[in-house]
Structure 1
Amino acid sequence: MVETTTRPAPAAPGAAAPVPALDETMLAMDVVDTLRHADRLVERELAGDARRAALKQRLREIYATQGIAVPEATLEQGVAALEQHRFAYTPAPPSFGRSLAMLWVTRARWGRAVGIALAVLLLAGGGWWFGVHVPAERTRIAEQQELREGLPRALQAEYDRVLAATTLQGPRDRAARLLAEGRTAAGAGALGDARARLAGLRDLQRDLVQEYRIRIVSRPGEQSGVWRVPQANPRARNFYLIVEALDRDGRPVEVPITSEEDGTTARVARWGLHVPEAEFERVRQEKLRSGLISDPVVGQKRAGELEPRWSVPITGGAILKW
């Protein structure tokens, strides 16, 4: 509170009102502040008809307890100022500028959370960039490099190996087709197709250099032949000898076999060879008599060739399951 008893002399009639002294203005502001902070007093006193007189009397009592003599004009000025909302702060209406100012003033409240969120986003973005994007980009560049340089060279190298493995025109023509298709796919950016043609050339070269014998399985406790009823003709029977491919040392050799029952192809060392009924019956009778097959070798695959040379009649079909 401001302590003062200074009171200006009354102005002469007709003269201009003098400018209030600074201490009077501050005293009036103190009066208004006292009224504003005494909420119960204001609500009670302003409710009656004699509110102004009662309010001024209550103010005199408040200041008297503090030993301050407040002039009547100052009390009147303070009450009028309160009614006119003078010396009161009126907040600015909502606007974009006010919103920005409020954000700045309250930055200590939300700044830490926003900073942490931004840091998390930066870490996540950096992890994605260096952990996903950069490796993917490197892979893409490597694949493009492979398409431009690596695959064409690899295709040509495998083609040359096929030519070195055989003098037969059939395998050579097949290799030339795979080479042309692989080059076209590489030029078009079809990495998968180009690699598939390269794998085809490698399989072809591997099949050409293989050497093995095809023999009927005749070990004790193992089947040497089976027969099936084809779905297309329930009255017929198909006869198969169970055979295996073995190299010179007697080790199994996996060869590509296509099943005539479902059209699937797999590399296997044992399969069912479709033979005429008479050949099947000959082998069956021989095994029934002695438990052995005197000449189990039914085919020979030579290096440089794709198809075995058979010593028994066959139909050209095969099965993979029995």
Structure 2
Amino acid sequence: MPEARAGAPALDETMLAMDVVDTIRHADRLVERELAGTERQARLRQRLREIYASQGIEVADHVLDAGIAALEEKRFAYTPKGEGWRRSLATAWATRGRWGKFALIGLGVVVLGWGVHFATVTLPAQREAAAIARELQHDLPRALRAEHDRVLAGTQEAGPRAEAARLLAEGEAAARAGNAAEARARRAALADLATRLAQEYTVRIVNRPGEPSAVWRVPAANPRARNYYLVVEAVDRTGRPVEVQVTSEEDGRTARVSRWGLRVPEAEFERVRRDKLADGIIDQPEIGRKRAGTLDTEWTVDTTGRAILSW
């Protein structure tokens, strides 16, 4: 066995020094008490000698000194390395048996929640957005143009044609700007204009037993005045009711109705009243005609065209 290099401690002395360090390290009270004074190394050496003597072990002073020096230099101490991602990953893998099941359950909940959210929120929103985009790019422009062309085909009057051109321009501008609600509103207005132009009906005074043919009202703005109205209805060629758009002058409400009150002068009101009182029949009930292709009604009586919806 080769001899140890000159000056190098023997293996047994090194092992004994390590044991000395371990003895000091585990004797916390001893270290705390003996290393506190000025003669700490001498007292510590004497204390260690007594400990080993009680165990039947004789330790040379230079071995004790080497152990004390090693303790102070922390030569045989283990200092764990700091936490790093590799250490954390290794620790997680080593302890996967404890947390793996819960992690899988949590992952399953997350995946399930994402799937439900995607199916109930994200996917419908994407479909709705795609439908709106398709409507704005294709459906609404075509529908606006179709309703505009229907208006032009139904009238030669300048007023309705100009109104149709305005509604078309506004609807197309709204579609280009991505405002579907405004574009739809213009399409609906064009469709209503085309429907009103296509209508053809006769306006006649209601002349049935138990129903009024004329009424008068006291306006709220002038309690001393009276407004006179004929109760009229719109009917087609076969006598069936036709709903027309009427706006009340009392509250500004607009509705599609087949019967309304048409404002007339007091003299017209009295003429109709006397006519009905004479024999219960109005001799000339027809007082207006609305022809296809126009928005205006041709009246045979003196009227402002203003109306009420209830009486």
Q: TM (normalized to structure 2)?
A: 0.70
Q: Once superposed, what is the RMSD of the aligned Cα atoms?
A: 4.6
Structure 1's 206 and 133: CA in aligned 2 closer, same or farther, altered over 3 A? closer
- 162-171 vs 285-294, which deviates more? 285-294
Alignment correspondent of 1:204: 193
**Within-5 A mapping of 1:97-108:** none
Alignment correspondent of 2:123: 131
CA offsets 1:1-32 (integer angstroms, 9 cap, x no match):
xxxxxxx99xxxxxx96112334323322321
Provide the C-alpha distance between the structure 2 equivalents of 1:56 and 1:275, rounded to a whole number of angstroms. Answer: 130
Amino acid at match of 2:264: V
Q: Is the 8 A contact 2:132 2:180 kept in 1?
A: no
Alignment correspondent of 1:18: 7
Match for residue 309 of structure 1 among 291, 298, 301: 298
Provide the C-alpha distance between the structure 2 equivalents of 1:304 and 1:311, rounded to a whole number of angstroms. Answer: 19
Alignment correspondent of 1:220: 210
Amino acid at match of 2:151: V
Structure 1's 179 and 86: CA in aligned 2 closer, same or farther, altered over 3 A? closer
Following TM superposition, by how much is the alpha carbon of 1:203 offset from its aligned partner in structure 2, in angstroms?
Answer: 1.3
Secondary structure at the aligned position of 1:242 is classed as strand
Structure 1's 252 and 57: CA in aligned 2 closer, same or farther, altered over 3 A? farther
- Matched residues, percent identical? 56
Alignment correspondent of 1:12: none
Amino acid at match of 1:279: E
Structure 1's 55 and 305: CA in aligned 2 closer, same or farther, altered over 3 A? same
Provide the C-alpha distance between the structure 1 equivalents of 2:67 and 2:213, rounded to a whole number of angstroms. Answer: 120
Amino acid at match of 1:73: H
Q: Is the 8 A contact 1:228 1:239 kept in 2?
A: no
Secondary structure at the aligned position of 2:76 is classed as coil
- 260-269 vs 97-106, which deviates more? 97-106
CA offsets 1:57-99 (integer angstroms, 9 cap, x no match):
554555566665544332232223323443335677xxxx966
**Within-5 A mapping of 1:159-174:** 159-168=148-157, 170-174=159-163
Q: Is the 8 A contact 1:230 1:236 kept in 2?
A: no
Q: Is the 8 A contact 1:242 1:271 kept in 2?
A: yes
Secondary structure at the aligned position of 1:306 is classed as coil
Secondary structure at the aligned position of 1:214 is classed as strand
Match for residue 142 of structure 1 among 123, 134, 153: 134
Amino acid at match of 1:320: L
CA offsets 1:116-146 (integer angstroms, 9 cap, x no match):
68x9499759839943763365245414532
Alignment correspondent of 1:36: 25
CA offsets 1:274-318 (integer angstroms, 9 cap, x no match):
111222234445566777656544333333332233343211212
Provide the C-alpha distance between the structure 2 equivalents of 1:203 and 1:262, rounded to a whole number of angstroms. Answer: 22
Structure 1's 66 and 120: CA in aligned 2 closer, same or farther, altered over 3 A? farther
Structure 1's 214 and 34: CA in aligned 2 closer, same or farther, altered over 3 A? farther
Alignment correspondent of 2:256: 267
Provide the C-alpha distance between the structure 2 equivalents of 1:290 and 1:67, rounded to a whole number of angstroms. Answer: 148
Provide the C-alpha distance between the structure 1 equivalents of 2:192 and 2:52, rounded to a whole number of angstroms. Answer: 110
Secondary structure at the aligned position of 2:216 is classed as strand
**Within-5 A mapping of 1:27-176:** 27-47=16-36, 51-60=40-49, 62-63=51-52, 68-89=57-78, 120=110, 124=114, 127=118, 130-131=122-123, 134-135=126-127, 137-139=129-131, 141-146=133-138, 150-168=139-157, 170-176=159-165
CA offsets 1:248-288 (integer angstroms, 9 cap, x no match):
56554321223334545333333331111222234445566
Amino acid at match of 1:212: Y
Structure 1's 36 and 140: CA in aligned 2 closer, same or farther, altered over 3 A? farther
Q: Is the 8 A contact 2:288 2:299 kept in 1?
A: yes
Provide the C-alpha distance between the structure 2 equivalents of 1:303 and 1:98, rounded to a whole number of angstroms. Answer: 89
Q: Is the 8 A contact 2:213 2:232 kept in 1?
A: no
- 107-116 vs 219-228, which deviates more? 107-116
Amino acid at match of 1:202: A
| Unpaired stretches in structure 2, ≥5 consecutive residues | none
Alignment correspondent of 1:13: none
Amino acid at match of 1:312: V
Provide the C-alpha distance between the structure 1 equivalents of 2:254 and 2:37, rounded to a whole number of angstroms. Answer: 106
